[in-house]
Amino acid sequence: MAKKVWLRWFAREYSVQYCEIAIRTLGKRTDSIFPGNLEEDLIFVPENNNAVCYIEKSAKKLFVNTCVKTFGTDMQSLKTFIALFHSLGKQYLDISKKISDSDLTNLSNEEIKELYLKYQKIAIEYSLIGPFVAFVLAEYWFEKMDPIVKDADPDVRAALFRPVRHNSVVTLNEKASKIDIKDTEAVKKLWEEYRWLSCLDIHKVPWTLKEMRDFIKKAEPIKHPKYSFEEALKIAGLEQKKEMFEIIRELAYIRDARDDYRRKGVFFAGPLFGEIAKRAGITHKQVAYMTEDEIIGFLEGKKTDASVLDERKKGFLLYADKGNIICKEGNVEKDIRHFGIEIEDLPVSLKGTVGCSGRTTGTVKIVRTIHDIIKVEDGDILVAVVTHPDYVIAMRKAAAIVTDEGGALSHAAIVSREMGIPCVVGTGMATRALKNGDMVSVDANRGIVKKLKKLI
């Protein structure tokens, strides 16, 4: 058997719960909507408080090709995909809301198990179509259409790829900028409407009212774009390709809307995991580090070892083997080496994709988790694996944004363009090549980030 070649795919602040869902999205449980079984070609390894996903090289190629062939060969198939995306997203929300509205305390462990498995089923199916397939299709079609406008004015290009609608965090920012912080009723109403935004995974807690107040204090009106979509089409002479660019803009919106569905789903499903945690005598955060088999095992009478879950919070290795999910904690370096995963050399100069043009210099602040955003001060260079809606407060302060992952349709690129902040995305390893306190120059006109020598 040929040795597997592993590619670093993405890194997130995920717990065991969602990493397992991610692996299951490429397995037998999604056979009805996606052909093939690639779950043994995904591995999650720990790195700097994040779970890093590696995918086998040939499996990634197969997955991308299958995504495009199944869901994105032409405009009709893309429209069908968009409809499926929203259908599954709404199903996920419906089931999660039913959980939220249920009196779980009176249910037996067997009934809790049935409810949990129902949640897992829709979460896995939605996560395949939303976070995975939507990402692949957006990147594929952007790269396909980008050469057509690569020499166009940056403002024209931005208008052609601008999401068809604002995502939740941009909408929240616009609403927050119009609220008087002294209007306690309006502040509370906005908090109730958007407090789910921080629920990336079940170990995350909803925004507090204080956090919403802090957000509102720093909110600024969205800058009006120079050109509308229709104006940009006319200037670029691309009226005949209007429908295709409309699809691209819809996919750009989905890139962030996929997290809206998931975060709301996680928020509404919170009471279910809270109830499981209460019955197991553990915390809500600890239950996020249990595998599906362990949760089912507990509900069927087995004991839960809280010390193991605490160890996993420090980092874990997760992969599938013959249909079973294997989770290891503690010193897993030997296991990682066994898979043949290699770490790339770290360069001094980084090259990425322009998210928003501009040039600046500043001090690096690495944001690996939401807890790091308080470190970002006015004029810093925010460096992250990828940005989330949780990061927007820090993004507003930054002189520039640099990410490991993402393309021109990523959250960092979209939000930076709305804010007019220089941004370079998709550098591959900025969070590893740079460290807190480094002085860097960011040339977001060319997509280059360079480390500078400090003057003493």
User: For the domain that residue 362 is a member of, what is the CATH number?
Assistant: 3.50.30.10
Instruction: Tell me, rounded to whole angstroms, the distance of Cα 107 from its chain centroid.
Output: 33
* Parallel, antiparallel or unpaired: strands 316-321 and 42-47: antiparallel
What is the pTM for the complete model shown?
Answer: 0.88
Asked whether the beta carbons of 407 and 426 are under 8 A apart, the reply is: yes
Is 275 inside a domain boundary? yes
- Tally Cβ neighbours within 10 Å of residue 216: 22
Q: What is the domain range of residue 262?
A: 6-146+248-339
Give the pLDDT confidence score for residue 345 in this predicted structure. Answer: 64
Positive or negative torsion for Cα 208, 213, 218, 224: positive
Q: What is the pLDDT along the chain (456 residues), one digit of tens a residue?
A: 567 899 999 988 899 999 999 999 999 999 988 888 899 999 999 988 889 999 999 999 999 999 999 999 888 999 999 999 999 999 999 999 999 999 999 999 999 999 999 999 999 999 999 989 998 998 888 888 888 887 888 788 888 988 898 888 888 988 999 999 999 999 999 999 999 998 989 999 999 999 999 889 888 887 788 899 999 999 999 999 999 999 999 998 888 788 899 999 999 999 999 999 999 999 999 999 999 999 999 999 999 999 999 999 999 999 999 999 999 999 998 899 888 887 666 677 899 999 999 999 999 999 987 778 888 999 999 999 999 877 888 898 999 999 999 888 888 988 898 888 999 999 989 998 999 999 999 999 999 999 987 644
Strands (E), 187-284: none
Q: Tell me: do 334 and 426 sit in the same domain.
A: no
- Amino acid identity of residue 226, one-letter, is K
Domain end call among 311, 339, 367:
339
Q: Tell me: do 313 and 397 sit in the same domain.
A: no
Give the pLDDT confidence score for residue 49 in this predicted structure. Answer: 83
Asked whether the beta carbons of 353 and 424 are under 8 A apart, the reply is: yes
Q: What DSSP letter does each residue of 333-393 carry, written as one string?
A: HHHHHHHT--PPPPPSEEE-EEEE--EEEEEEEEE-SGGGGGG--TT-EEEESS--GGGHH
The SS3 call for residue 193 is: helix
Q: Tell me: do 362 and 403 sit in the same domain.
A: yes
Q: What's the CA gap between 257 and 447, in Å, rounded?
A: 26
Domain count, the chain: 2
Q: In degrees rounded to 5, what are phi and psi of residue 59?
A: -65, -40
Domain end call among 281, 314, 339:
339
Write the DSSP symbol of residue 128: I
Name every residue whose Cβ is closer than 8 Å to that of residue 428 and which is 6 or more positions away in sequence. Answer: 8, 344, 350, 352, 404
Q: Tell me: do 305 and 265 sit in the same domain.
A: yes
Q: What's the CA gap between 94 and 268, in Å, rounded?
A: 9
Is 174 inside a domain boundary? no
Q: Tell me: do 327 and 395 sit in the same domain.
A: no
Q: Tell me: do 308 and 363 sit in the same domain.
A: no
Is 156 inside a domain boundary? no
Q: What's the CA gap between 294 and 34, in Å, rounded?
A: 27
Asked whether the beta carbons of 245 and 159 are under 8 A apart, the reply is: no
Tokens representing 305 are 């070892």
The SS3 call for residue 116 is: helix
Instruction: Tell me, rounded to whole angstroms, the distance of Cα 407 from its chain centroid.
Output: 13
Asked whether the beta carbons of 401 and 395 are under 8 A apart, the reply is: yes
Domain end call among 317, 339, 361:
339
Q: Tell me: do 253 and 293 sit in the same domain.
A: yes
Q: In degrees rounded to 5, what are phi and psi of residue 66?
A: -70, -40
Q: How many helices (H) and strands (E) does the chain have?
A: 18, 13
Is 327 inside a domain boundary? yes
Give the pLDDT confidence score for residue 456 in this predicted structure. Answer: 42
Tokens representing 333 are 């370096």
Is 110 inside a domain boundary? yes
Is 385 inside a domain boundary? yes
Is 298 inside a domain boundary? yes
Provide, for the chain, the percentages of residues in helix, strand and coil under a 3-state DSSP scheme, each rounded to the nearest 5. Answer: 55, 15, 30
Q: Tell me: do 26 and 83 sit in the same domain.
A: yes
Is 166 inside a domain boundary? no
Q: Tell me: do 270 and 396 sit in the same domain.
A: no
Token look-up 């590696």 returns: 54
Q: Tell me: do 91 and 21 sit in the same domain.
A: yes
Q: Tell me: do 327 and 353 sit in the same domain.
A: no
β-bridge partners, 327: 318
Q: What's the CA gap between 315 and 381, in Å, rounded?
A: 27
Instruction: Tell me, rounded to whole angstroms, the distance of Cα 280 from its chain centroid.
Output: 30
Asked whether the beta carbons of 294 and 303 are under 8 A apart, the reply is: no
Q: What's the CA gap between 248 and 38, in Å, rounded?
A: 27
Report how far apart, in Å, the C-alpha atoms of 325 and of each of 45, 105, 293, 298, 320 are.
14, 29, 8, 16, 4
Q: Tell me: do 17 and 77 sit in the same domain.
A: yes
